[in-house]
Amino acid sequence: MVFSFLWKRFSSEQKKARDLYDSIVEQARQPSFYIDFAVPDTVDGRFDMLCAHIYLVVDRLRNDEEKTKNLAQSLYDIMFADMDSCLREIGVGDMSVGKRIKDMAFGLNGRLYAYDAGLKSEGEEADKMLRDVIRRNIYGTIEKDPDLETLQTLAQYFRKEHKALAQQEDKDLLNGKITFGPAPQR
């Protein structure tokens, strides 16, 4: 095969993106988020935790877009293939899956923009801005707002992870390896 080298490269990129995605999902599903911090253990709640962690990794990948553009795109592709599979598993009909995925993609883009603004804000209003982003996105489907301590702890966690990921080696990320710190606990 004349073009077999292209297939190998694509497969390698997909594997690295899959490894990143698996690490992101593992972190986003840490029980303490759902038990200690009352993140809704629902499709929406899990999606929102996934989006927050996807943001952290994608933002880190943006540091060197020339090298990581394909990896970031593969990460998105794997995420939405997983969402498609999950929706089908919970019984969403074939005719509705496409619309739900489109809605999720739209929602992800809005969340990424909000986390970007919240995590890159500075000054006195920075913490309040990030707490508001967390309240709207992670807790947006519940009637009662979480307490200030919960929002502040999660804001500190996301800021800490954002800074820690900025320090991780490019070569590790490009090889599908990412390390998160422990999830916050009470």
* Triad 94, 95, 100: Cα angle to 5°: 90
Q: What integer pLDDT is reported at residue 76 of this predicted model?
A: 87
Name the band, by pLDDT with cuts 50, 70 and 90, for residue 106. Answer: confident
Express each pLDDT in 107-155 by its tens digit.
888 899 999 999 998 887 888 999 999 999 999 999 888 999 999 999 9
Q: What is the pLDDT of residues 14-45, one digit of tens each?
A: 899 999 999 999 999 999 999 999 999 998 89
> Any idea where the domains of the chain sit in the sequence?
14-174
Higher pLDDT, 70 or 94: 70
Look at phi and psi of residue 147 and say left if phi exceeds 0, alpha if psi is from -120 to 50, else beta: beta
Give the model's pLDDT for residue 34.
Answer: 97
Out of 76-80, 88-92, 113-117, the most confident range is 113-117
What is the secondary structure of 64-116 as a DSSP string? Answer: GHHHHHHHHHHHHHHHHHHHHHHHHHTT--HHHHHHHHHHHHHHHHHHHHHHH
| Structure confidence at residue 1 (pLDDT) | 46
Question: pTM of the predicted model, to two decimals?
Answer: 0.87
